[in-house]
Amino acid sequence: MKTEERKKAMEYRDMFIDVGLKDDKAAKRAGIRIGDYVTFEREFGELKGNLVTGKAFDDRLGCLALIEIMKKVKARGTVYGVGTVQEEVGLKGARTAAFRLNPDYALAVDVTLAGDYPGIKEEDSPIKLGKGPTIEIADAQGRGIITHPKVKELLISTAEEYKIPYQLAVGEGGTTDATAIHLTREGIPSGVVSVPVRYVHSQVEVASLEDVKNTIKLVTKALEKGI
């Protein structure tokens, strides 16, 4: 949301219900009708279209992906998997962990804002669910990370080599742990791979399981390939 939008109350005519389906015909086939009762569902649940919903996917999905990556990766060098703290209040855990480990390069695994729902213009958020993880080019209008060219090339070439769908992202708003990491010590080459998520920072975030699987595969293969 833009700053001015945050100050306004949401009107009912601007609200909608996302059930993971493409159109009203698909909704009718699924047994959904006008007049059905609705309420917030705060527990994890499955939607149609191989989508899931729940609270705090930012960054539970990143943690899930990291665990699976560490189970699968067979890299030539040493790979550290770090679950950081206080990312939302100053990237504090990433800053101290990066200083301690001083890695050759780093990849932050996070979520990013998907914009494929009503009220969002294509130019404001072109990222879509089911189209693959995003490879960040820059975020926070350049005040955050500007991805190192070698890291960017590693991620893109890996995705294309293994036919992993991916999306490129340039963010205007928030940032990730990679911002702190790439400014640690004399600078650590860093990048970000993110799972697209709708309605971030709400109790009903929505994500695609295929995007999660492809995030795991992309990061795993990139680590095995190396810079």
Domains and CATH numbers, the chain: 54-225 (3.40.630.10)
- Which residue type sits at 140? A
Q: What pTM value is reported for the model?
A: 0.83
- The predicted-structure confidence for 136-184, as pLDDT tens digits, reads as follows 999 888 788 999 999 999 999 999 999 999 999 998 778 998 999 999 9
| pLDDT mean over 84-113 | 94
| pLDDT mean over 124-128 | 89
Distance CA 134, CA 16 (A): 26
* Catalytic residue list: 87
pLDDT band at residue 9 under the 50/70/90 scheme: confident
Residues 30, 47 contacting (CB under 8 angstroms): no
Distance CA 210, CA 166 (A): 11
pLDDT band at residue 1 under the 50/70/90 scheme: low
pLDDT of 13 > 90? The answer is no
Find the helix packing angle between 209-225 and 57-72, rounded to 10°.
40
Which helix (H) or strand (E) segment is 170 a member of? strand 167-170
Give pLDDT, residue 43.
Answer: 86
